[in-house]
């Protein structure tokens, strides 16, 4: 058969290849690379969580679970979400366990969008938002955040993007790739816009435990989610998971909390496509929520120290970088060196074998910046800084 | 709560004041002063490397000795426990709850030397009622370090 490309759906053909892909190929062939290009913790999942997964297998628990997920897990999620985010969700009807936030996001778009419906999201952002919207036949509407605002989102920019066709606003704070957090007053304004225009908000809270105080690494700042504002619980789909805070990326476990009607709609897609999340991951998730808080804090504290180390390093080298309030990324401004983000990243890899991800992989507004992940051992971070310093000195 | 800088040193005593300064956004001089303070007031007792005895070719023996004592009218177990602690073979000494009073960890060149220490020194001390000795056969974890490290996760080098 010839011309197989034409057999691929037109909808999918519109989606460009991931900007991160060619860079990944380049890095993969090389040894001696220090990678600040990862998007996951360097820790393994805490042992007691892994042990719970082993126990699940040992005791022969290898069957499907309820489509919504194990009730015991949903109950733990309900308790946790209420404590950390505020609102309470009925574990029987308003919580859906998914295969990571990625699946939950896809479910939400497919559950909500009619062809041509507009979804507002902020860039630079995680690479899957726009493609997921397109795959659900929606229209992605980008609002750009700015370096001058430390990549916080201006409510006025959101307001300007709202049209008759707008159905959904997607938020992700702390943000991948910038580490930005949203000031509470702007968040409140966005909440008011959502209420006023009767919009659904999808909030991706995957990094919400990884937040830092600028002066005291041991202090855990408070986190505010848009769902906690008046009128928001009934129009918010809160997405969260275990990947980042519990270092459980490979378990692929996430969840959605939303009013019953929305949960039901997402559940319809989930039951016919995924059926349920792996029971092993779900058992591990129960253990994580019951007994994982201390380990989460240990890891958060370690990230806080590394963040300080990297911020100090960039300051010493003379690369401007705002102190991001969350996640485990820095998004330094490399524009002064007269190279595009892409060229900077490629040449840094070529010359010094340090991998950072070009800011443009996360949207055009990432131009001028690169993403440097500090979820890597301190010794490697120190060495990366030495190499980056040598590299930028060579740029003159 | 223990000072995070102290916690850091507990994990890695080789951290230099300069390194700690970067981690905690403090002055290296401030850190040095803190450490000197802890060393002076006995908060920091000392520094050592944590070794895998097998790899290091360690041929000596380690024994965990349960010791039952008669408490003294004034001072309880303290005087005798301190006395036991002073022997150079004793690497650790803890007062315990339960069926016996002290756990005394003893390291020496061979079994005979440990036996001699117990027979001649430990059990002859006034106040020592009885001892029960357990020899260590293999180390799996030492001071938070597991001996057989984990095969570290094969993270992909670039992930969105």
Set out the domains of chain A in order of their start, with CATH numbers. Answer: 8-45+294-395 (3.90.1150.10), 47-291 (3.40.640.10)
**B14 pLDDT more than 90:** yes
> 3-state DSSP call for residue B40?
helix
With CB atoms and an 8 Å threshold, state whether B158 touches A27: yes
Q: Which of B22, B153, B159 is the closest to A312 by Cβ? A: B22
Of residues A344, A368, A349, the one with CA closest to residue A178 = A368
With CB atoms and an 8 Å threshold, state whether A39 touches B159: yes
- The fold adopted by the segment(s) B61-137 is Alpha-Beta Plaits (3.30.70)
Distance CA A79, CA A72 (A): 11
pTM of the model: 0.90
Q: What is the pLDDT of residues A312-334, one digit of tens each?
A: 999 999 999 999 999 999 999 99
Distance CA A220, CA A293 (A): 13
Contacts of A28 in chain B (CB under 8 A): 156-158
In this structure, are strands A200-204 and A166-171 parallel, antiparallel, or unpaired? parallel
Contacts of A33 in chain B (CB under 8 A): 157
Of residues A262, A276, A253, the one with CA closest to residue A109 = A262
> How many angstroms separate the CA of residue B122 from the nearest CA in chain A?
40
Q: What is the pLDDT of residues A334-377, one digit of tens each?
A: 999 999 999 999 999 999 999 999 999 999 999 999 999 999 99
> How many angstroms separate the CA of residue B106 from the nearest CA in chain A?
31
> 3-state DSSP call for residue A291?
helix
Q: What is the pLDDT of residue A1?
A: 58
Q: Does A39 touch chain B (CB under 8 A)?
A: yes
Domain range list for chain B: 4-41, 61-137
Contacts of B17 in chain A (CB under 8 A): none
Q: Is the Cβ–Cβ distance between B122 and B128 less than 8 Å?
A: yes
With CB atoms and an 8 Å threshold, state whether B160 touches A40: no
Q: Is the Cβ–Cβ distance between A102 and A129 less than 8 Å?
A: no
Reading the block at residue A392, the tokens are: 């930028």
Q: Which of B23, B153, B158 is the closest to A24 by Cβ? A: B158
Q: Which of B150, B156, B159 is the closest to A44 by Cβ? A: B150
**B76 pLDDT more than 80:** yes
Q: Does A44 touch chain B (CB under 8 A)?
A: yes
Q: What is the pLDDT of residue B73?
A: 85
């Amino acid at each position: 058969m010839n011309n197989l490309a034409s057999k691929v759906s037109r909808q999918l053909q519109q989606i460009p290849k991931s900007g991160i892909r060619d860079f990944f190929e380049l890095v993969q062939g090389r040894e001696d690379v220090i990678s600040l290009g990862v998007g996951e913790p360097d820790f393994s999942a805490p042992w007691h969580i892994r042990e719970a997964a082993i126990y699940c297998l040992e005791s022969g628990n290898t069957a499907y679970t309820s489509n919504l997920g194990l009730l015991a897990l949903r109950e733990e999620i309900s308790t946790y979400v209420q404590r950390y985010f505020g609102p309470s969700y009925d574990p029987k009807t308003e919580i859906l366990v998914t295969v990571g936030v990625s699946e939950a996001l896809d479910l939400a778009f497919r559950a909500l969008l009619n062809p041509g419906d507009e979804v507002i999201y902020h860039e630079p952002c995680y690479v899957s938002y726009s493609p997921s919207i397109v795959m659900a036949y929606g229209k992605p509407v980008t609002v750009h955040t700015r370096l001058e605002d430390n990549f916080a989102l201006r409510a006025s920019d959101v307001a300007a993007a709202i049209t008759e066709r707008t159905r959904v606003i997607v938020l992700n704070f702390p943000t991948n790739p910038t580490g930005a957090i949203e000031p509470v007053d702007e968040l409140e304004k966005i909440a008011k816009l959502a209420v006023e225009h009767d919009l659904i908000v999808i909030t991706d809270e995957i990094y919400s435990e990884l937040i830092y105080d600028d002066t005291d690494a041991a202090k855990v700042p408070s986190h505010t989610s848009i769902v906690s504002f008046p009128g928001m619980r009934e129009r918010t789909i809160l997405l969260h998971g275990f990947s980042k805070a519990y270092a459980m990326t490979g378990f692929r476990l996430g969840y959605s909390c939303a009013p019953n009607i929305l949960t039901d709609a997402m559940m319809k897609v989930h039951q016919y496509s995924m059926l349920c999340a792996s029971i092993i991951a779900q058992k591990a998730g129960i253990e994580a929520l019951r007994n994982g808080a201390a380990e989460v804090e240990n890891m958060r504290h370690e990230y806080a120290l590394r963040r300080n180390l990297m911020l100090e390093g960039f300051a010493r080298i003379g690369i401007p970088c705002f102190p991001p309030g969350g996640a485990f990324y820095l998004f330094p401004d490399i524009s002064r060196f007269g190279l595009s983000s892409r060229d900077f990243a490629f040449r840094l890899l070529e010359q010094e074998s340090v991998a950072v991800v070009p800011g443009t992989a996360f949207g055009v507004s990432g131009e001028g910046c690169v993403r440097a992940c500090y979820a890597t051992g301190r010794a490697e971070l120190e060495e990366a800084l030495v190499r980056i310093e040598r590299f930028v000195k060579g740029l003159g | 709560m223990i000072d995070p800088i102290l916690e850091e040193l507990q994990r890695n005593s080789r951290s230099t004041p300069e390194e700690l300064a970067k981690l905690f956004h403090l002055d290296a001089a401030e850190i040095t002063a803190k450490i000197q303070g802890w060393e002076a007031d006995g908060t920091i007792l000392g520094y050592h490397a944590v070794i895998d005895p097998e790899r290091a070719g360690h041929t000596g023996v380690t024994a965990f000795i349960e010791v039952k004592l008669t408490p003294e009218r004034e001072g309880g177990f303290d005087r005798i426990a301190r006395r036991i602690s002073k022997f150079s073979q004793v690497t650790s000494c803890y007062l315990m709850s339960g069926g016996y009073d002290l756990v005394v960890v003893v390291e020496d060149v061979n079994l005979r030397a440990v036996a001699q220490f117990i027979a001649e020194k430990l059990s002859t001390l006034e106040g020592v009622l009885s001892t029960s000795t357990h020899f260590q056969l293999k180390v799996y974890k030492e001071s938070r370090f597991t001996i057989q490290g984990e095969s570290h996760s094969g993270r992909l080098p670039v992930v969105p």
